[in-house]
Chain A
Amino acid sequence: MALQTQLSEVEQQTFAIIEELRFREGPLLPILQGVQQKLGCIPEDALLLIASELNLSRADVYGTMSFYHEFRQEPAGRHVLKVCRAEACQSMGGEKLANDIQSALGVSWHETTADGKVTLEPVYCLGLCACAPAAMLDGDLHGRLDEPAVLELVEGVK
């Protein structure tokens, strides 16, 4: 890479991910996913580097990133709790569960608790529709939930 200036840590890590994936067909999404997995979000510096390395405009990369619900430019809390809002979970009291969780944690959708521990996100279906209501804490799935069970999950992580 022909950059004259010193690369920041974010740029170095982003560059390594770009190098690994750049020769795949349609590499932008896998690169964005790789960066978010590594850095927890897609910082502006990473975005600019991806754009220049893939020969895209910043607007192209930003446009793609902002289209998808999962990408974020600011880091989430230490854990991400995704609670299903879709119909099968609704039929088993999912809406009330989601409201109760919001009150208990003191946050609304897309917000992070004051202690920075948990970010609450809605999700539209985890494919656990025959054991609803369902949620996902980081990568782990949980079904047949009620409010105490969800709060126990949140209690169980640091």
Chain B
Amino acid sequence: MGAVLYIPCDAAALAVGADRVECAFSEELARRNVEFEIIRNGSRGMHWLEPLVEVETERGRVAYGPVTPADVAGLLDGGLLDGADHPLCHGLTEDMAYLKKQTRLTFSRCGITDPLSLTHYKQHHGFLGLQRALKMTPAEIVQEVTDSGLRGRGGAGFPTGVKWNTVLKVQGEQKYIVCNADEGDSGTFSDRMIMEGDPFVLIEGMAIAGIAVGATKGYIYTRSEYPHAVAIMRDAIEIARKAGILGDTVMGSPYAFDMEVRMGAGAYVCGEETSLLNSLEGKRGIVRAKPPLPAIEGLFGLPTVVNNVMSLASVPIIMDRGAQFYRDYGVGRSHGTIPIQLTGNIKHGGLFETAFGLTLNELVYDIGGGTLSGRPVKAVQVGGPLGAYFPPALFDTIFDYEAFAARDGMIGHAGIVVFDDTVDMLKQARFAMEFCAIESCGKCTPCRIGSVRGVEVIDRIGRGDQPEEQVELLRDLCDTMKMGSLCALGGFAPYPVLSSLNHFPQDFHLKSLTEAAE
């Protein structure tokens, strides 16, 4: 047997040259008359080491990274194929501290397998959850998911089982499973990584959801900014269809389930579930008032489960290992694991799946290694563009839905963006309002007009134009947006603004506030 190398096809690896590295290895190995196979796996999630090349050895897979095309000849001369030591070598991949500290449940296969190999998928516990689900009644599946304590990973944290139960109980000539893969939050890429690195797990999760609630059709709504995820997901669906996993009889059962990938067109607000449904229907992505809940009147007015990618991709392991197994991870009312994305100005950026309960201190410093620039951390934004900025003084906050809410923040889609001390928090506050103005769907006044006024007020503060009065106005405006907006876009845009103002008053040039904070 020839040499076996793994070079990721994940978009983050491609963005830093994985294809060029693959080319260099192919050419160099052919030139040396070495028999070889290169498997394009998903990413292990250690993005600072991408492109991360792994080679199969008797001891296990050995990792090298970040590899550039110029390194290839030298690596091969130095004995890469035998897993020999080298300045770029990190030893056995599975022994790397960053991976060893994780609890990979949802991402158990990501980075290990060829994303489009059904054989790999089955070799690594694939379809065991679906097989078990097929032996249960729909009500029993819903109960299992409810008992696992799984909460919506998109940000709102609503119990997944409760949502499913509503759809199960309501009558409808057609029901839908809609996967919200419109991952627009800056600082997040876990949905993208699973779609590119382990697409069958999402297919399996959606099929289980369909069987559980009586839905026969599923849609994955994702972003046009994710062309690789779209292509891999579409290929995977086609493979699953041909293998009889999707179609009229799911794995030979009496259940039918099929699915399709749809793309957005660059509108952040379509990540909001009702806006997403309108967009899927071919309309403007305008937010709908709730009630009616999508569970009752969703896509085309029919009962619809709308779940985030991470929620659906966590279902197979819950069904395979049982509710109790999953539930035992985590703290308080946050059960299971959460794939945390460490991003921005951070030394060891990437994806870190762990049980709920780590502190921001552990995540930013112990795991993330502090800033990439080497300067002190000034702030982190958790939960995307609508998430609060936390100063290091609050880094004892644990990663848990309630702990973040108690400090006027949210974990959202679990992205952490790290900023060093060169960041100007007034600018960040202004950007939050500017972004809201650009992306507002326009249906409700607090969001549509409030965000524009927010930018103007912050600009006046920046110019020192009656700053104390303007801050009072800004707080009042934020209050109106929080209380009066129809959805989370206008409702949460004030969080990054107010947190900047409260935790970093010096950046707003406010003497009285600075004194009060001291």
Contact = CB atoms under 8 A, between A and B. Distances in A.
A69 B267 contact: yes
A17 interface: no
A143 B265 contact: no
A59 B144 CA distance: 47
A33 B345 contact: no
Interface string B429-457: 00100010011010000000000000000
A128 B213 CA distance: 35
Determine the main DSSP class of A at the interface with B. Answer: loop
Interface in B315-373: 341-346, 349-351, 372
Contact of B265 (A68, A91, A140): A68
A124 B265 contact: no
Interface string A22-45: 001111111011000000000000
A125 B16 contact: no
B349 A143 contact: no
A10 to B, nearest CB: 20
Determine the main DSSP class of B at the interface with A. Answer: mixed
A91 B281 contact: no
A131 B47 contact: yes
| Most-contacted residue by chain A among B186, B284, B417, B439 (CB, 10 A) | B186
Given A25-B300, A91-B420, A144 B186 contact: no
| Most-contacted residue by chain A among B11, B263, B280, B428 (CB, 10 A) | B11
A132 interface: yes
B381 interface: yes
Given A125-B186, A129-B415, A130-B346, A68 B12 contact: no
| Most-contacted residue by chain A among B192, B280, B286, B349 (CB, 10 A) | B349
Interface stretch (A1-9, A82-90, A99-107, A111-119): A82-90
B186 A87 contact: yes
A156 interface: no
A10 B29 CA distance: 48
B465 to A, nearest CB: 23
B374 interface: no
| Most-contacted residue by chain B among A29, A69, A136, A144 (CB, 10 A) | A29
Interface residues of B, number: 62
Interface in B370-410: 372, 381, 385
B36 interface: no
Interface in A62-78: 63-64, 67-71
Given A28-B282, A139-B227, A87 B431 contact: yes
B11 A88 contact: no
Contacts of A144: 15-16
A154 interface: no
Interface string B144-187: 00000000000000000000000000000000000000011111
A69 B415 CA distance: 24
B484 interface: no
Interface string A124-158: 11111111101010011111100000000000000
Contacts of B14: 140-141
B344 to A, nearest CB: 4
A91 B185 contact: no
16 contacts: A26-B280, A28-B282, A29-B263, A33-B224, A64-B282, A82-B225, A86-B187, A87-B187, A90-B423, A91-B423, A92-B344, A128-B12, A129-B343, A129-B349, A131-B15, A141-B15
Interface of A: 24-30, 32-33, 63-64, 67-71, 82, 86-92, 123-132, 134, 136, 139-144
Interface of B: 11-12, 14-16, 47-48, 50, 183-189, 192, 224-228, 260, 262-268, 279-286, 300, 341-346, 349-351, 372, 381, 385, 415, 417-420, 423, 428, 431, 435, 438-439, 441
Given A68-B267, A127-B192, A128-B189, 5 more contacts: A130-B47, A131-B349, A136-B225, A141-B14, A143-B16
